[in-house]
Chain A
Amino acid sequence: MPEGPAAKSHVLVVEDNPSDVYLLRLAFDRAGVDCEMTVLQDGAAAMAYIEQTEHDAARPALVIVDVNLPRRSGMDVLTALRAHPVFAPVAVAILSSSSSPRERAAIQQHENLRYFTKPPTLDEFLELGPALAKLFNS
């Protein structure tokens, strides 16, 4: 796809906490990553969105999924993503507020996926910007 440096990348964010959405925007801004974010605030809405997407043009550069979501869990969303022709090749970043080893082990079995614990300090959170940008589909 002909994408110049000025072209905006599309990032799909499934996150119910507006503060974290704000911080993600901030992290991308500080990292100089110009992206457009589609935010879905619960698991069910995310799954509906995935189902309705038909064209490859709507394929995002990255999907960021929180584990703890209202209505449907991040794991359900992840399964739906992997099963969908448009989203299957897209890299996924899982954001979790806990670092339970069990949860981590279960999630890390997927390919093309990174697991992040939501960082407890501002500086660490801002470091997420460049780290997430590296995952963008080129």
Chain B
Amino acid sequence: MAPPSNTFAVKRLLDRLAHVRGYTPALIALAGAVAIHFVLRTFGMANTIAIYFVYVASIIISGWCGYGPGVLVVVLAVGIIPYWYRTNYSIAQTNPGVTAALLVISLFLSHASAARRRSEEDLKLLNEELEDRVHQRTAELELANKRQLAAQTQLELVTQTVAAAITRCSRDQKFIWVNARYAEWVGKPASEIIGRYIVDVLGPYRLAAAQPYIDQVLAGQNVEFQAYIEVPPLGRRWIHATYVPTYDDARAVDGWVAHVTDISAIKEAQEELARVNSHLRDANLQLARTNGDLERFAFVASHDLQEPLRMITTFSQLLVRSQNGNMGKETEFFVNNIVDGTRRMRQLLADILAYTEIDQRPQEAASIDLNVLLDNVRKNLAEPMKATNASVTADALPRLDAPEGYLLPLFQNLIENAIKYRSHEAPRIHVGTYTKEDIPHFSVSDNGIGIDPEYHQQIFTVFKRLHGGQIPGTGVGLAICQKIVERQGGRIWVESAVGAGTTVHFSLPGLHATKGGGA
């Protein structure tokens, strides 16, 4: 170990000496040279030869220590040192040729050494820079490697965990790569798939099914298709596949990537939806037919049943009349009950007829002044109004473009109800009107017995009645009102409580309202 260490130390020393420059070392070196010159003289060397030693030394020193120190040393060696051993020495005695030669040589040497040193330094700097770059590049490469690895891991993670089966195949129809799901769907480990021909892995039948799509993708097209295929671990499944071509460096198709997803759930849902829709359509059609049949039936029945009823009534009365009072009170009572029953039934049939006729009535609209219409209602209801001492007041009502056949029964039924379901007080009925969201609204308020909120919905159902025999009625009036309002796209509802009177509101959005004539 010692010898290499020593060599290294010597080299380091020389290296350091090579770097020692400036005036002080130059003067020290010159002093040394002068000392050696004196020693040489002492030992009998001729003065002229010894002095050359100083000259040579000064030249070497100048090459070593740079321009300034070099010139100084040469000048000292030529012009000053001789004073010590020559008497009467003057600068004029100096040999100008030698001095000039010395100076030229010294300048040349110091220039050459400076240039060498500079190039050495340049080289060193260059080396250092190179080294830096190598370090930097290495670091960059390491980082890139790390990143690529991370990206690869991520890609691997994604492709292996994604819910799609993915494979890459070559132009000669071999598997290059498959993800875990693909292997799972094929039913073989990836190692038994990759590198093999598709036909060997999937069999000729399944390849044949995919062949048209493979041909397309190899022709450079993106292919997308759905198919119902056998997936060994799952059975027959609906799949959606996308084939995308891959290219080599010469931009020629060298294979494709296939992306296959299981869309059975979506397909089944779609089929189920279509099935349900179709059923719904059928059911709707059936319902429309049934409704139509029912309405026709109700119309015909209520119309034709009137006839036998009329016979029963008339001939029962005739029976009593023909006996000229010989029939006995009891029999007469029976017959009166028959007549009364048929009268109620007749009313019922008339109401059903009115209800079913709403849809069959022609709908020619005319401009109707509701104030006039209300007067007609007052006339129609004059008898019960007089009997109950009822009053019907109203806001200034507008004109409506509507079929009169709709509006009259609507208002008349509501006002009739208000009279019918009165409290012990004389009925005070008010017809109001207001506009909400640009839609004409109306209200019919009374001070009657009111309706329990529990029944606010069902009172609009046909034949639904809250009162038995004590108040006559068929339970059709409000159903007629609702049907009329709903035919105009409106809504009818009740605000009421027991003992607090009732207000029936309804909207008629289908009808255009203008200011009433008041005539």
**A122 x B307 contact (CB < 8 A):** no
**A122 x B321 contact (CB < 8 A):** yes
**A120 x B311 contact (CB < 8 A):** no
Contacts of A121 in B (CB 8 A): 313-314, 317, 339
**Is B306 an interface residue, CB under 8 A from the partner?**
yes
**A19 x B311 contact (CB < 8 A):** yes
Chain A residues 40 to 76 lying within 8 A of chain B, measured CB to CB, are none
**Is A79 an interface residue, CB under 8 A from the partner?**
no
CA distance A26 to B311 in the complex (A): 14
**How far does the Cβ of B146 sit from chain A's closest Cβ, in whole Å?**
92
**Is A125 an interface residue, CB under 8 A from the partner?**
yes
**Is B21 an interface residue, CB under 8 A from the partner?**
no
Contacts of A102 in B (CB 8 A): 362
**Is B462 an interface residue, CB under 8 A from the partner?**
no
Contacts of B306 in A (CB 8 A): 97-98, 120
Contacts of A26 in B (CB 8 A): 318
Contacts of B314 in A (CB 8 A): 19, 23, 120-122, 125
A101, A120, A123: which contacts B310 (Cβ < 8 A)?
A: A120
Contacts of B339 in A (CB 8 A): 121
**How far does the Cβ of B142 sit from chain A's closest Cβ, in whole Å?**
98
**Is B346 an interface residue, CB under 8 A from the partner?**
yes
Chain B residues 296 to 321 lying within 8 A of chain A, measured CB to CB, are 303, 306-307, 309-311, 313-315, 317-318, 321
Contacts of A122 in B (CB 8 A): 313-314, 317-318, 321
**Is A118 an interface residue, CB under 8 A from the partner?**
yes
**A97 x B307 contact (CB < 8 A):** yes
Contacts of B343 in A (CB 8 A): 120
**How far does the Cβ of B380 sit from chain A's closest Cβ, in whole Å?**
15
CA distance A101 to B314 in the complex (A): 24
Q: Which chain A residue has the least Cβ–Cβ distance from B314?
A: A122
Chain B residues 167 to 197 lying within 8 A of chain A, measured CB to CB, are none
CA distance A102 to B311 in the complex (A): 25
Contacts of A119 in B (CB 8 A): 310
CA distance A122 to B342 in the complex (A): 13
**How far does the Cβ of A114 sit from chain B's closest Cβ, in whole Å?**
19
Contacts of B315 in A (CB 8 A): 19
Q: Mark B98-134, 1 if CB is under 8 A from A, else 0.
A: 0000000000000000000000000000000000000
CA distance A122 to B306 in the complex (A): 15
**How far does the Cβ of B295 sit from chain A's closest Cβ, in whole Å?**
15
**B310 x A118 contact (CB < 8 A):** yes
Contacts of B311 in A (CB 8 A): 19
Contacts of B303 in A (CB 8 A): 97-98
CA distance A97 to B353 in the complex (A): 13
Contacts of B307 in A (CB 8 A): 17, 97
**How far does the Cβ of A58 sit from chain B's closest Cβ, in whole Å?**
31
Q: Mark A21-53, 1 if CB is under 8 A from B, else 0.
A: 001001000000000000000000000000000
CA distance A121 to B306 in the complex (A): 12
Contacts of B405 in A (CB 8 A): 101
Contacts of A118 in B (CB 8 A): 310
**B309 x A120 contact (CB < 8 A):** yes
CA distance A123 to B339 in the complex (A): 12
**How far does the Cβ of B307 sit from chain A's closest Cβ, in whole Å?**
5
Q: Which chain A residue has the least Cβ–Cβ distance from B317?
A: A122
CA distance A60 to B4 in the complex (A): 162
**A120 x B313 contact (CB < 8 A):** yes
Q: Which chain A residue has the least Cβ–Cβ distance from B339?
A: A121
Contacts of A23 in B (CB 8 A): 314
**A120 x B317 contact (CB < 8 A):** no
Contacts of B310 in A (CB 8 A): 97, 118-120
Residue numbers of B with Cβ under 8 A of A are 303, 306-307, 309-311, 313-315, 317-318, 321, 339, 343, 346, 362, 405
A sample of 6 inter-chain contacts (CB < 8 A) reads: A19-B311, A97-B310, A118-B310, A119-B310, A120-B310, A120-B346
A-B residue pairs, 8 tightest by C-beta: A122-B317, A122-B314, A120-B310, A97-B307, A19-B311, A98-B303, A122-B318, A120-B346
